[in-house]
């Protein structure tokens, strides 16, 4: 019997976030028929993570960065549950970067636009190394393009996006676009959207429930199963 996959999201007061996690879970069930896929949340939504745990489950964080929830919150919630593994976060997987490229195409972005500056907006973390890893997404995204530049901003810092925009303009960008490094819409991203609208900057869609997001989740699950359970 296959181990259950517990897709564990952050949780949000915005219903769109939980809805997206459940949409990804449906994708997982289609991609891996017969797999027991459960959705859980670290906070704010139900069911809570401990409520769905059973021996042998693989807790697969529906998170991009290896920050607080992956490093502290989830381990504390699963402590004491025998035989439960925790998979790695989705991270800066090339497939997710490919999804961002697809989302940018959806708002008319061309890789050949030499006057374009791309602001990759992520949530941001108090864990510095997580931010460094997230910042690598911009370089991956711009590889092979003729863009004037791409840089990362963090939505949790009020000055970060404006600073990134100024930097790109100094580097010769005549047009700008915002590429959210977010799994789903939410209140924080709404503030980014307000900034984009007020400044006349197009903004692409989130990663959402794209097939490649689900494929990345399954890879993290498979990788965790291949590792021995810690004693």
pLDDT of residue 175: 98
pLDDT of residue 28: 98
Residues 52 and 72: their CA atoms lie apart, in Å, by 19
Look up the CATH number of domain 5-91+209-226: 3.40.50.1400
60: helix, strand or coil: strand
pLDDT of residue 230: 59
User: Which residue do the tokens 């195409």 mark?
Assistant: 105
Going by pLDDT thresholds of 50, 70 and 90, the confidence category of residue 157 is confident
Is this structure's pTM higher than 0.85? yes
The pLDDT tens digits for 199-213 are 999 999 999 999 999
Percent of the chain's residues with pLDDT above 70: 98
What is the pLDDT of the chain when averaged over all its residues? 95
The pLDDT tens digits for 87-126 are 999 999 999 999 999 999 999 999 999 999 999 999 988 7
Domain limits, the chain: 5-91+209-226, 94-199
Percent of the chain's residues with pLDDT above 90: 90
Nearest to 208 by CA among 109, 96, 107: 96
* Region 177-203 average pLDDT: 97
* CATH domain 94-199 topology: Rossmann fold (3.40.50)
Same fold, 5-91+209-226 and 94-199: yes
In this predicted structure, the answer to whether residue 145 has a pLDDT above a threshold of 90 is yes
In this predicted structure, the answer to whether residue 158 has a pLDDT above a threshold of 70 is no
Nearest to 15 by CA among 190, 207, 215: 190
Pairing, β 175-180 against β 116-122: parallel
Two tokens at 196?
């984009």
Residues 192 and 180: their CA atoms lie apart, in Å, by 9
């Amino acid at each position: 019997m296959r181990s259950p996959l517990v897709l564990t999201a952050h949780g949000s007061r915005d219903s769109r976030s939980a809805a997206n996690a459940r949409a990804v879970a449906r994708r997982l069930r289609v991609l891996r028929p017969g797999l027991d896929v459960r959705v859980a949340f670290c906070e704010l939504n139900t069911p809570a993570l401990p409520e769905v745990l059973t021996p042998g489950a693989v807790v697969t964080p529906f998170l991009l960065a290896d920050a607080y929830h992956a490093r502290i919150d989830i381990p504390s919630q699963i402590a004491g549950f025998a035989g439960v593994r925790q998979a790695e976060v989705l991270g800066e997987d090339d497939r997710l970067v490919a999804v961002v490229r697809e989302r940018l195409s959806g708002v008319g972005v061309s890789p050949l636009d030499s006057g374009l500056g791309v602001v990759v907006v992520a949530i941001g973390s108090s864990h510095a190394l997580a931010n460094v890893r997230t910042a690598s997404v911009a370089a991956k995204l711009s590889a092979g393009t003729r863009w004037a530049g791409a840089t990362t901003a963090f939505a949790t810092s009020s000055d970060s996006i404006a600073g990134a925009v100024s930097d790109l303009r100094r580097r010769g960008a005549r047009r700008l676009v915002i590429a959210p490094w977010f799994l789903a819409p939410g209140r924080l991203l709404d503030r980014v959207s307000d900034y984009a609208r007020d400044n006349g900057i197009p903004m692409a869609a989130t990663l959402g429930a794209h097939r490649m997001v689900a494929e990345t989740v399954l890879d993290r699950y498979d990788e965790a199963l291949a590792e021995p359970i810690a004693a």
